[in-house]
Amino acid sequence: MNIHEYQAKALLRSYGAPVSDGRVVLKAEEAKTAAGALDGPLWVVKAQIHAGGRGKGSFKEADAGEKGGVRLAKSVEEAEMEAKRMLGRTLVTKQTGDAGKQVNRIYIEDGSGIETEMYLALLVDRQTSRVSFVASTEGGMDIEEVAESTPEKILSFSVDPATGYQAFHGRRIAFNLGLTGKQVKQCVALMGTLYKLFIEKDMEMLEINPLIVTDAGDLKCLDAKIGFDGNAVYRHADIAELRDTTEEDPKELEASKYDLNYIALDGEIGCMVNGAGLAMATMDIIKLYGAEPANFLDVGGGATKEKVTEAFKIITSDPNVKGILVNIFGGIMRCDVIAEGVIAAVKEVGLQVPLVVRLEGTNVEKGKEIISNSGLDVIAADDLKDGAEKIVKAVKG
Ligand code: ADP
Ligand code: MG
């Protein structure tokens, strides 16, 4: 689960990490008061979307020379004007894809004098099963690009969970970033604070890009991007409250209401499968036959008819879907339950695209019988390969 920059900064502030003072704005009318509550003489007006690269992004239908989603303002009036110009419009960045994201919230914060910009992140490293620090002198840049072109400029190491964060971790980062004097001490304290926050709130990723040295020589977190482990959010009521569902894919949001493991993708073949492994294999084989999956969906072992119906409705609601492949290897999941769910969904929402069904395993005969008695126009398949071939052929001709 991701949150906005202003929410991330509030969390950082509550743990004592250095961030600028700022105000969030939901309506244009609030912008002037918000800016007026800050010190000035420089304000930064920042579009709040769940994606990075805002500064270098651009708005749809932008005027010539118009700036991206992070703008400087030299007066309260200017800050208000910039906030008004951004609210409600669609910002496209490297991370949003071509569709972009609508800006519904603006963060106005005090402008900082910047001496240097650096990169810092904490993340869960799956290789070592530990929390890792990633630091680089190349701040404000796309870290993937730095990793590609100048990997030697990235410092990365993991923290032993038995000892936790130690001052030497912070010093290692400080010296690598070329910090001196009081900054070293600040760095040791800040890294400890970030590590504590990361662990206590079950984060998956915490990225400060840029971490800066201000013109007064102090460290400050100028941007903050946080992702939480979705499976642990139930332990943190305060974090769950920060969820902004308008930032999520509506299909994934609907799926989460029914506890379905669904992930929206860009392809044309909708998939309904039981078991994550089989779902992955199904996506692979669709690609092998020359098409692209429109989604990942594992309906799980104990799915009810209602759950299957909802899953099918979510798949058909995707306008990119040109065909559907139902691939069930019934173990705990019974084929007749799947068949009933699919039919109930088709009765409700209709079926405009070809549907290939492959059923195998528990109650397979009953399942096939339900489908053939339904009068539905279904293409039956014998196995995974047959199913993939048939749906790709039906869609691509
Ligand atoms: P994004 O990473 O989405 O582009 P950032 O918050 O990192 O957004 O802002 C982009 C750039 O804008 C930063 O690298 C920094 O140079 C500048 N910037 C951001 N916030 C401030 C601020 N409060 N004061 C001065 N400059 C800022
Ligand atoms: Mg940034």
DSSP letter for each residue of 181-237: THHHHHHHHHHHHHHHHHHHTTEEEEEEEEEEEETTS-EEE---EEEE-GGGGGG-H
State the pLDDT at residue 97. Answer: 85
CATH architecture of 21-110: 2-Layer Sandwich (3.30)
Angle at 311 between CA 308 and CA 313, to 5 degrees: 110
State the pLDDT at residue 391. Answer: 97
Q: Is the beta carbon of 44 within 6 A of some atom in ligand 1? A: yes
Q: Is the beta carbon of 346 within 6 A of some atom in ligand 1? A: no
Token pair in block for residue 291? 């098409």
Q: Which residues pair with 45 in a beta bridge?
A: 71, 108
Q: Where are the domains of the chain?
A: 21-110, 114-240, 250-396
SS3 328: strand
C-alpha closest to that of 309 among 341, 270, 336, 264: 341
For a mutational test of ligand 1's pocket, the pick from 7, 44, 209, 212, i.e. the residue with the most ligand atoms closer than 8 A to its C-beta, is: 44
Per the annotation, binding residues for substrate are: 274, 331-333
| Maximum pairwise Cα distance, the chain | 79
Q: Is the beta carbon of 55 within 6 A of some atom in ligand 1? A: yes
CA of residue 55 to ligand 2 center, whole Å = 8
What residues act catalytically? 119, 207
125 vs 134: CA distance, rounded Å: 10
Per the annotation, binding residues for Mg(2+) are: 209, 223
SS3 161: coil
Written as one letter, the residue type at 311 is A
State the pLDDT at residue 305. Answer: 85
Q: Is the beta carbon of 53 within 6 A of some atom in ligand 1? A: yes
State the pLDDT at residue 241. Answer: 97
The closest ligand to the CA of 18 turns out to be 1
With residue 309 as reference, give the H or E element that holds it.
helix 305-316
What CATH fold (topology level) applies to the domain 250-396?
A: Rossmann fold (3.40.50)
CA of residue 225 to ligand 1 center, whole Å = 12
Query: Does residue 250 have a cis peptide bond before it, meaning omega lies within 30 degrees of 0?
Result: no
State the pLDDT at residue 330. Answer: 85
Written as one letter, the residue type at 82 is E
State the pLDDT at residue 301. Answer: 76
Measured from the Cα of 209, ligand 1's closest atom is 7
SS3 200: helix
83 vs 319: CA distance, rounded Å: 33
152 vs 70: CA distance, rounded Å: 29
- Find the Cα–Cα–Cα–Cα dihedral 200, 206, 212, 213, rounded to 10°: 30
Ordered mean pLDDT values, 10 residues apiece, the chain (397 residues): 97 98 95 94 97 95 89 96 96 92 97 97 95 96 90 96 97 98 98 98 98 98 97 96 92 90 94 93 97 94 84 93 93 88 88 93 92 90 94 93
Q: Is the beta carbon of 357 within 6 A of some atom in ligand 1? A: no
291 vs 353: CA distance, rounded Å: 15
> What is the pTM assigned to this prediction?
0.85
CATH class of the domain defined by 114-240: alpha beta
CA of residue 240 to ligand 2 center, whole Å = 24
